[in-house]
Structures are given as C-alpha cells and as structure tokens.
C-alpha cells in the first residue's frame, strides 16, 4: 500500500524533497507554482525548450534559478539560452533518440543522475495545455516512469495535478487546503476491471472503469482527510489545486 499527498510539493510547510523537471510550456502565469516547486527541489532539470521557458520567466532573477542539467535534441532550445546556462556551469546533455519525447529522455537522464540522492518524488511542471498529442505523450511517460524509478512522478501545471497509481491499494491525502473540489480516476491505456474507492462523493465498489463505458471524471470529495483507491490495473488520478 502506498501513501501520497499529491499537493505536498506546493506546501511551504511540507518537509518533502523533490526532483523538478521543467517542460516546454509557458510558465509566466505559473511563476508562483514554479518558485514553490523549485524551493522543494534538490535537483532541477529542463527538457529542451523548457530551458527557454525558465530563462524567459525568471527574467532579471534568472541567475538565482540555475538548473542542474538541460537535456534534449535541442530542436527547441535557443542556442543563446544554452550558451548562457552552459557558461554558468549547467550541464547540457544531448539526447537524440527520436523514438521518445524530450520528457521521457530527460526523465531517464534525471533518474540516473539522482540515483544516489535522497528525495521523495519527481515533480513536473509544464505538462498540460497546448497540443493534445503532447498531453497524451506526457501521460504515456508516467507509464514509462514505472519501469525507471520507484519514486512517484507527479505532473503539476495550470491548476491540475496528475499521477499514475499502480496496481494495488493507495491512500491519497487531500486535506492540505489547496484542493479544488474536483478530481477524477481515468483508465488510460487499459481497462481497470476492479476499482474500489472510499472518500469520494461517488465511490466505486469493485467496479470496472474503461473508455466507452464508465470513467470517473468530475468526481469530488466526501469530506474525509484522505481518498483510498484500490485498482487491479494502473489508473490515472487527477485533481485540481488552488492558486499558490
């Protein structure tokens, strides 16, 4: 059984430590979220054009926000941005494999680089919005992540959080005060034949979730401090968070 507080990286009082991955999406409206995630991170990486986003968003404060590494095939990152960070001592690693996304390739490198570090989870900003195929690719990387690391990988962007729950029982803490009133359980990739929950307004009792039939979107909480979810197949959990 696993226990996770999906919004813990957004809490100033949280004692968790994370690894942060920055993807290629606009961050200006997310600057407070970015700063909060940055403060929790012991290692920080930009995936290709994520370096442009960090550089532009932090403006005159960019010298205080130096990533540890930038990875990618660099079809998006500007040469002037890469030169700036490289001159500041940031490691720049070329990952040319076209069979995987920049996020997937970056995650592989980051997991290897941080294997001797102690941290609680990997957080990713910039995973939502823009092209729908990119969104599905980012969700697919959550599945890939299960073969790369035992650490939870959480996508946090634009008011939404997503994480993949593996087969088994999970307890999600939802009493931080940052929770919006919506949440969902989405069977991406394969049907889940047996899902049981507690702590939701519309609970499931050994029910199946699959596309073309029932999926649990637009759910909400019943007022408990946690949500318990038991599933026979990987299941995507998503929820909303308030502005930080």
Q: Are strands 216-219 and 91-94 parallel, antiparallel or unpaired?
A: unpaired
- The encoded tokens of residue 24 equal 């290629």
* pLDDT of res. 32: 95
Helix (H, G, I), strand (E, B) or coil at 36: helix
Q: What is the 3-state secondary structure (H, E, C) of 61-125?
A: HHHHCCCCEEEECCCCCCHHHHHHHHHCCCEEEECCCCCCCHHHHHHHHHHHHCCCCCCCEEEEE
Residue for token pair 């019943």: 222
Per-residue pLDDT band at 244 (split at 50, 70, 90): confident
Q: Which domains does the chain have, with CATH numbers?
A: 7-158 (3.40.50.10240), 166-241 (2.60.120.320)
Q: pTM for the complete prediction?
A: 0.95
* pLDDT of res. 16: 94
Per-residue pLDDT at 70 exceeds 80: yes
Cα gap 159→164, rounded to integer Å: 17
Eight-class DSSP state of 221? B
Cross-strand pairs, 219:
183
* pLDDT of res. 98: 74
Going across the sheet that includes 226-231, the strands are 2-4, 168-173, 226-231, 192-198, 207-209
Helix-strand-coil split of the chain, %, nearest 5: 30, 35, 40
* pLDDT of res. 1: 82
- At 236, which helix (H) or strand (E)? strand 235-241
Eight-class DSSP state of 155? E
Q: Are strands 160-165 and 153-157 parallel, antiparallel or unpaired?
A: antiparallel
The angle at the Cα of 153, spanning 147 to 155, to the nearest 5 degrees, equals: 135
Per-residue pLDDT band at 13 (split at 50, 70, 90): confident
Mean pLDDT across the chain: 95
Average pLDDT over residues 19-27: 96
């Amino acid at each position: 059984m696993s226990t996770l507080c999906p919004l813990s990286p957004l809490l100033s009082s949280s004692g968790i430590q994370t690894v942060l991955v920055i993807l290629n999406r606009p961050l200006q409206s997310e600057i407070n979220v970015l700063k909060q995630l940055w403060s929790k991170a012991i290692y920080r990486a930009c995936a290709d054009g994520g370096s442009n986003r960090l550089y532009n968003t932090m403006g005159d404060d960019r010298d205080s926000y130096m990533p540890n590494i930038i990875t990618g095939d660099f079809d998006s990152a500007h040469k002037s941005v890469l030169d700036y960070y490289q001159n500041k001592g940031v490691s720049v690693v070329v990952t040319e494999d076209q069979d995987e996304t920049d996020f997937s390739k970056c995650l592989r490198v980051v997991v290897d680089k941080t294997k001797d570090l102690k941290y609680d989870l990997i957080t990713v900003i910039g995973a939502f919005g823009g092209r729908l195929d990119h969104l599905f690719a980012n969700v697919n990387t959550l599945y890939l992540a299960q073969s790369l690391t035992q650490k939870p990988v959480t996508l946090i962007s634009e008011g939404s959080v997503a994480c993949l729950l593996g087969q088994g029982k999970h307890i999600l803490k939802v009493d931080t005060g940052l929770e919006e009133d919506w949440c969902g359980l989405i069977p991406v990739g394969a049907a889940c034949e047996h899902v049981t929950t507690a702590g939701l307004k519309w609970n499931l009792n050994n029910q199946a979730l699959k596309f073309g039939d029932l999926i649990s979107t637009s759910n909400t909480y019943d007022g408990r401090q946690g949500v318990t979810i038991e599933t026979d197949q990987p299941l995507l959990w998503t929820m909303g968070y308030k502005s930080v």
